Amino acid sequence: MQEDIILSVLDGKDTLALMPTGGGKSICFQVPALAREGICIVVSPLIALMKDQVENLKARDIKAVSVVSGMTRKEIDITLDNCIYGNIKFLYVSPERLKTDLFKARLPKMKVNLIAVDEAHCISQWGYDFRPSYLEIAAIRKMLPGIPVLALTATATPEVREDIQKKLSPPTPQRGDFPAANNSPSLGEGVRGWAVFQNSFERKNLSYVVINEDNKTLKMLNVVEKTTGSSIIYVRNRKRTKEIVELLQKNGHTAGFYHAGLDKATRNKRQDAWMSGETRIIVATNAFGMGIDKSNVRLVLHYDLPESIEAYYQESGRAGRDGKQSYTVLLYKKTDINEAQGRVESSFPEVSEIKNTYQALGNYLQLPVGSGAGVSYDFNINAFCTNYNLDPLNTFNCFKILEMEELIEMSDNIDLPSRLHITVKHEMLYEYQVKNPKFDHVIKTILRSYAGAFDDYTAINEGEIAKRSGITIDEVKEILVKTDAQNILSYLPQNQSPQVTFLKQRLDLKNIHISREHLADRKERHIKNMKAVIKYASTNTSCRQQQLLQYFGEEINHRCGNCDVCIARNKLGISDLEFSNVQVEIQTILSNQKLSLHHLIKNIKSANEDKAIKVVEWLIDNRKISYDDDELLVIK
């Protein structure tokens, strides 16, 4: 499907592409962007994925940059200028950055050839991860007439697909709109109809299994021991990742845990060990998996109920990318359902709590009202909660609402490397070196090691500079700090701290408007998502693959034959048609009366007695019919 999508984009059409996880979405915008003069703007909510793609493009000598949390205003300013005057081909940006004055001022001057929207389901209010800032994409299209959009997502229901096209279509121009870019390559006139490309959501090599089990830990160990090859176990919280790894290791399995709270070096080490096969099992939160291309994963196990069918499908889809038989197992027990419903309630605090948390955040950072827009601050949520005696989980949920309202942006371990930008011209730098001979050798080492330091902020490694200069790392850092203070260069040390960014200037408490109606809508969507997960987990009479495909608006008339439901049915030795006929007949008979097993079997005409008994036993085992107190069968 990649070629068709690429040709559609090159033809200037607005294009929606639905491709499964690991389906090669990024190449669909990279190829047409490289084939055209100008720059491609890639809008993505996933900072880690943005950074990975930028690094991969750079490794292929393709000019790519990103604007992410933690960057200074000056860094962003230089980066955007380079997108106008340099030879940058890809600008990765989070949707929240589209609304900033700095971005809006620079965009009309860029020679844009394509807008690529990753995780496009986030633009739909019906999507499982709705982000209001995505709505800004349609607004920036006013400045880029004739420039096509490529919207990409791995999971979208028919409702969401329709909404994506509607929300990403350019608005009707109004008086007073931003000026249109006059130097973008012409790709056609006016608004076009959308070209929609969709791969089937069916994964024929995956066996979907749901297990209702009170002792999930024992069942997990049992499943792991029965399967071979690389595995991923998804859990809901960070603490549990470590607990499960310790249990797996005690039982002789090589395992490591992964979550966003770990520092980059630890995350990379554990990911590399799993990718290489040194570690067989990775136990992780949903922070793990995006952009990771490992083809031979044989098992993806969900220890906890996922937040949505979309998230479950994406995470499960990391199994069996090589096309070989693989398994995806969901464990749950009755109390999990109650806990999931409780989580939805706790995820939406009262408006007064949200406002008070915002006020406390401003005070904690000593940020005056009316200031701080676009500024990022190192932030430790645990220290914050301790300082104000707040409940961490409730505070986290308050921050999530403040993010949805586009007041702040939270980032886990942004992991920005040390960066350096020489801010003076060559002649002035030479004079400085002559006057400061003790700094000369370090500056020469930097110039030899990092081309482009005059043009932009460049990632540096103080250890490498120290090694090549024959001095210590501390001495290198001291020299860089001093030259920074003298305005010869700008030095930004490595930062691995979690951060909070104020997307707007700090508001006074009375000016914070959080819509109770919007909160109610979001809560309703969360409830709808959770009900869909619970329905999927508790429905044990329909093929799992069919259930998933129906959720995404795709109908197939055959069972997969591999899921737990199909395997149980296969053991009966009855064809689909026979089973269906007997089931319908039983439901019809019992809808009007209660019968003993003997009399029910005698009333079934669509199959012989042996087959009829097998179907009745299956329906009893799967709690579709049951015995009442008088030992008569009734529809449950």
Q: Could you list the beta-strand ranges (E) of 451-525.
A: 458-459, 489-492, 499-502
Q: What is the pTM of this model?
A: 0.79
* Chain center to CA of 539: 27
Q: Output 319 or 293, whichever has higher pLDDT.
A: 319
Q: Residue 295: pLDDT above 70?
A: yes
Q: Is the pLDDT of residue 395 over 60?
A: yes
Span 360-389, average pLDDT = 92
Residue-level pLDDT at 220: 96
Residue 22 has pLDDT above 80, yes or no: no
* CA neighbor of 614 nearest in space, from 575, 584, 573: 573
- Would you state the torsion angle of the CA atoms of residues 330, 331, 337, 340, taken in this order, to the nearest 10 degrees? -70
- Single out the residue of 236, 340, 329, 328 nearest to residue 288, CA to CA: 236
Residue closest to 331 by CA, chosen among 222, 210, 167: 210
pLDDT of residue 176: 44
pLDDT band at 440 (very low <50, low <70, confident <90, very high): very high
Percent of the chain with pLDDT over 90: 53
Question: Within 10 Å of residue 201's Cβ, how many Cβ atoms?
Answer: 21
Using CA atoms, how far residue 173 sits from 103, 176, 191, 372, in Å, is: 20, 9, 12, 32
d(CA 615, CA 610): 9
- Work out the average pLDDT over 175-202: 56
pLDDT for the residue 304: 94
Give residue 280's pLDDT.
Answer: 96
Query: At residue 51, does pLDDT exceed 50?
Result: yes
Helices and strands (H and E) in the chain: how many: 25, 21
Q: Would you say 42 and 114 are in contact if contact means Cβ atoms under 8 Å apart? A: no
Checking if the pLDDT of 148 tops 70, the result is yes
What pLDDT band is residue 107 in, cutting at 50, 70 and 90? very high
What average pLDDT does the segment 542-553 reach? 92
pLDDT digits (tens, 9 = 90+) for 584-603: 999 899 988 999 988 899 89
Average pLDDT of the chain is: 88
* pLDDT tens string 465-476: 999 999 999 999
CA distance linking residue 147 with residue 440, whole number of Å:
48
471 vs 187, more confident: 471
DSSP-derived pairing of the beta strands 206-212 and 281-284: unpaired
Contact in structure between 27 and 56 (CB atoms under 8 Å): no
Nearest to 50 by CA among 145, 133, 118, 4: 118
Count of CB atoms within 10 A of residue 155's CB?
25
From residue 185, alpha-carbon distances to 84, 280, 497 in Å are 14, 49, 41
| Res. 186: pLDDT tops 50 | no
| Torsion angle (degrees, nearest 10) of CA 215, 221, 222, 224 | 140
pLDDT score, position 382: 87
Given this model, what pLDDT does residue 343 score? 85
CA nearest 93: which of 28, 140, 142? 140
Q: Which residues contact 324 (CB under 8 A, 6 or more apart)?
A: 205, 296, 298
Q: What is the pLDDT of residues 403-420, one digit of tens each?
A: 888 899 887 656 678 899
Cross-strand pairs, 38: none
What pLDDT is attached to residue 171? 64
Does residue 545 register a pLDDT over 90? yes
pLDDT on residue 128: 66
Please, which pLDDT band fits residue 342 given cuts at 50, 70 and 90? confident
The two structure tokens encoding residue 128 = 């499982």
Nearest in space to 255 (alpha carbons), one of 284, 227, 226: 284
Q: Provide the percentage of residues in the chain whose pLDDT is more than 70.
A: 95
Instruction: State yes or no: pLDDT of 279 exceeds 90.
Output: yes
Please, which pLDDT band fits residue 265 given cuts at 50, 70 and 90? confident
Kind of pairing between the strands at 195-198 and 64-67 = unpaired
- pLDDT tops 80 at residue 482: yes
Q: List 230's β-bridge partners, or say none.
A: 297
pLDDT for residue 139: 86
Is residue 288 over pLDDT 90?
A: no
